[in-house]
């Protein structure tokens, strides 16, 4: 039977070898709008990995449509760099496309030498906290022309197609939405007026690039904005784009950056937004591409065969594993390293003005710097600890040609990745643990489970180099009463080693504390499967079902000494976690210190130096962790070269463990 994922498809007259579409993503790798070697290397790798079509960008259409970290398409001077990138993609087997966009009110004056962002109306953006300037009619006409000129440059640079972003809260979608378009001229008011700007852009582009050049639009299926645009208007807009503007394919994404519906985090089920691409596909006769949280071939195949879409956009999935398409095509799907939707290296980096990296793939963004070459002096390498750091160290050292063995004191590999996977919406971290274990297995690296390591084990192994990845241990704060039987560690709660009572106080409002509180708050709520059963059978009304979905059986109180909770979450993840804390009714007490644990609960001191006792059946300690590194001194005494990585070196995120482990293995 033919694999639907690898059936060819045509966009207008452009043949594409498979149904995998790498969408445009902010990479933060351009230099003053110029294509860099880093960008070329990044996309070369994804083309080699087997993606059918690759869209780069977004690219700017004028100096104020983005920032200098975006690829530029607003001047002829950028065409040579664009050509070089197109050739790199084409020569490695993929079709190439450039996405054009104007950020509108999502741009920052900081990036525009103090100039005010522009929009259809002077309505502030919750994302930038800035008020834009409303465009004049002549400026609108100029912007339309600038899109068309940029598209012509894309064609002249040798790309196979051009895509224009009409969603996500950027300029075109600001014209589309009644939320941001309060104009009273021909570009505002009625639906026909609000879609005028977007249609004029596509019609003008067609004039500039000709009839045969494929035009693609990336648009929202739902903007998820209160008083914005839902599925109904956007379906009508999709029809207008195809019927009135001659668009040849539609790539459907979801939400604005300001929307309070998670879109890219692990809380979003795989393929959750396929219903939106299905809705568009039902009203147009051009290829429709689905987006968001499609990180494995099986999900992609089901979406295509079930008629939800014609192609799948796999963006961060191909950051995590550029060779996902090739592995799927050749029956090596167990070797795929799946995106876990953590956003730590991709989206969070952009807020730090850093280029894209990846928790799962330490080579992403460093395709030319982190090439593993065979060592001229292979060594016997002993890796102690089988978590994220240890497995990555073993993999990298093996790929360098060393003789590697991996020791783990537990009966399984994965370490704290399984703890990270326990809270609701975080299960993908367990996938990473399994993926890394498969990477170890396919290299036939010897693994010794249930094997604590001491001096005698090391002496018997006789390694030339040891990599210590022994992780961390939860901290126990010096609070009176900490030894009482109703006091437990958060790690034990997440590992399901202990039970908790109805009234629970979690001490520590960092990431682990928040995740543990949410883990406990879900106890007694309805599962997705049960909700669907009750809804289909109309057993309860929608409001009752919603209440049962967020109301558990435990009363959770979360206390934190600092002035806010969740400080160590990334920016992309934090807002969604805190939204759930509020939604699930978890009481949070900040600037609050635990001073004594009693038989009946816990006594705390607030910022006003007042004390009170909170009744609790269980007190959960989530007070951080400390390195577990008792072997380093012994190894040094044995005169064996040693590297220390991950939490054994210093408590950090999974991202740090993966990258440190890789670096240690690569440097042996």
Task: State pLDDT tens for residues 167-223.
Answer: 999 999 999 999 999 999 999 999 999 999 999 999 999 999 999 999 999 999 999
CATH architecture of 4-351: Alpha-Beta Barrel (3.20)
Q: Look at domain 380-473+627-667 and name its CATH class.
A: alpha beta
pLDDT of 237 reads: 98
pLDDT of 112 reads: 83
Beta strands in 184-292 (DSSP E): 215-220, 249-253, 288-290
The yes-or-no verdict on residue 62 having pLDDT over 80 is yes
For residue 368, the Cα-to-chain-centroid distance in whole angstroms is 23
pLDDT of 211 reads: 96
Do residues 645 and 467 lie in contact, with contact meaning Cβ atoms separated by under 8 Å? yes
The yes-or-no verdict on residue 312 having pLDDT over 90 is yes
Closest CA to 404 of 452, 459, 461, 453: 461
Distance linking the first and last C-alpha atoms of the chain: 46
Q: What percent of the chain has pLDDT over 90?
A: 92
Any idea what DSSP says for residue 646? G
The yes-or-no verdict on residue 128 having pLDDT over 90 is no
Closest CA to 103 of 47, 61, 145, 140: 61
Any idea what DSSP says for residue 66? S
Q: Are strands 14-16 and 9-11 parallel, antiparallel or unpaired?
A: antiparallel
Task: Output the average pLDDT for the chain.
Answer: 96
H helix runs in 359-447, sequence order: 388-399, 417-420, 428-442
Q: What per-residue string of b and e applies to 462-497 under the rule 16 or more CB within 10 Å gives b?
A: ebebbbbbbbbebeeeebebbeeebbbbbbbbbeee
Q: What percent of the chain has pLDDT over 70?
A: 100
pLDDT of 395 reads: 98
Give the pLDDT band (50/70/90) at residue 48.
Answer: very high
Residue 53: CB partners within 8 Å, gap ≥ 6?
A: 11, 16, 20, 21, 22, 94, 95, 96, 97, 160, 161, 311
Ranges of each domain in the chain:
4-351, 380-473+627-667, 476-623
Q: What are the tens digits of pLDDT across the range 490-530?
A: 999 999 999 999 999 999 999 999 999 999 999 999 999 99
How much of the chain is helix, strand and coil, in % rounded to 5? 35, 15, 45
Give the pLDDT band (50/70/90) at residue 61.
Answer: very high
How far CA 452 is from CA of 407, 408, 456, in Å, comes to: 8, 7, 11
pTM of the model: 0.94
The yes-or-no verdict on residue 571 having pLDDT over 90 is no
Give the pLDDT band (50/70/90) at residue 68.
Answer: very high
CATH of domain 476-623: 3.50.50.60
Q: What are the tens digits of pLDDT across the range 366-423?
A: 999 999 999 999 999 999 999 999 999 999 999 999 999 999 999 999 999 999 999 9
Tokens linked to 451: 């094997």
């Amino acid at each position: 039977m033919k694999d639907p994922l690898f059936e060819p498809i045509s966009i207008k007259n452009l043949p594409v070898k498979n149904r995998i579409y790498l969408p445009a993503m902010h990479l933060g790798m351009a230099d003053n709008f110029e294509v860099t070697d880093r960008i070329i290397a990044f996309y070369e790798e994804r083309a080699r990995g087997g993606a059918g079509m690759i869209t780069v960008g977004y690219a700017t259409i004028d100096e104020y449509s983005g920032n200098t970290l975006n690829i530029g398409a607003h001047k002829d001077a950028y065409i040579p760099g664009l050509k070089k990138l197109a050739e790199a993609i084409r020569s490695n087997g993929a079709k190439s496309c450039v996405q054009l966009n104007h950020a509108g009110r999502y741009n920052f004056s900081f990036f525009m030498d103090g100039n005010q962002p522009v929009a259809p109306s002077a309505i502030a953006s919750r994302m930038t906290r800035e008020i834009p300037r409303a465009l004049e009619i002549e400026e609108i006409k100029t912007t339309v022309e600038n899109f068309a000129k940029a598209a012509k440059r894309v064609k002249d640079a040798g790309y196979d197609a051009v895509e224009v972003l009409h969603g996500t809260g950027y300029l075109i979608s600001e014209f589309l939405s009644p939320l941001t378009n309060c104009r009273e001229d021909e570009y505002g008011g009625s639906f026909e007026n609000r879609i005028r700007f977007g249609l004029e852009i596509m019609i003008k582009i067609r004039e500039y690039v000709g009839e045969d050049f494929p035009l693609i639009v990336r648009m929202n299926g739902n903007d998820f904005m209160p008083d914005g645009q839902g599925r109904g208007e956007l379906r009508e807009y999709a029809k207008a784009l195809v019927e009135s503007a001659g668009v040849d394919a539609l790539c459907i994404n979801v939400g604005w950056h300001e929307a309070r519906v998670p879109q890219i985090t692990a809380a979003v089920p795989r393929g959750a937004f396929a219903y939106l691409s299905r809705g568009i596909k039902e009203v147009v006769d051009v290829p429709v591409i689905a987006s968001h949280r499609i990180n494995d071939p099986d999900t992609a195949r089901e979406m295509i065969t079930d008629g939800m879409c014609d192609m799948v956009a796999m963006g961060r999935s191909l950051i995590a594993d550029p060779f996902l398409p090739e592995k799927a095509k050749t029956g090596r799907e167990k070797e795929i390293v799946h995106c876990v939707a953590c956003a730590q290296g991709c989206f969070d980096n952009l807020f730090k003005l850093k280029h894209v990296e990846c928790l799962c793939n330490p080579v992403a963004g460093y395709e030319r710097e982190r090439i593993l070459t065979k060592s001229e002096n292979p060594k016997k390498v002993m890796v102690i600890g089988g978590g994220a750091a240890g497995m990555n160290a073993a993999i990298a050292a093996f790929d360098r040609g060393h003789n590697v063995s991996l020791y783990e004191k537990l009966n399984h590999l994965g370490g704290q990745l399984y703890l990270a996977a326990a809270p609701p919406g975080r299960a993908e971290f367990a996938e990473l643990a399994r993926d890394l274990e498969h990477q170890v297995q396919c290299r036939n690296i010897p693994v010794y489970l249930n094997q604590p390591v001491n001096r005698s084990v090391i002496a018997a192994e006789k390694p030339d180099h040891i990599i210590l990845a022994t992780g961390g241990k939860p901290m126990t704060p010096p609070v009176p009463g900490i030894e009482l039987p109703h006091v437990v560690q958060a790690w034990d709660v997440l590992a399901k080693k202990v039970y908790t009572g109805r009234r629970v106080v979690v001490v520590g409002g960092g990431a682990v504390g928040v995740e543990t509180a949410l883990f406990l708050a879900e106890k007694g709520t309805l599962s997705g499967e049960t909700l669907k059963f009750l809804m289909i059978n109309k057993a309860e009304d929608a409001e009752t079902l919603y209440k049962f979905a967020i109301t558990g059986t435990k009363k959770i109180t979360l206390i934190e000494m600092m002035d806010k909770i969740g400080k160590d979450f990334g920016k992309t993840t934090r807002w969604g976690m805190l939204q759930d804390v509020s939604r699930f009714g978890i009481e949070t007490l900040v600037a609050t210190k635990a001073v004594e644990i009693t038989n009946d609960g816990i006594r705390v001191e607030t910022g006003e130096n007042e004390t009170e006792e909170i009744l609790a059946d269980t007190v959960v300690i989530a007070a951080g962790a400390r390195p577990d590194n008792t072997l380093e001194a012994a190894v040094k005494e044995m005169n064996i070269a040693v590297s220390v990585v991950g939490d054994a070196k210093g408590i950090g995120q999974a991202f740090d463990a993966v990258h440190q482990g890789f670096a240690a293995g690569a440097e042996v």
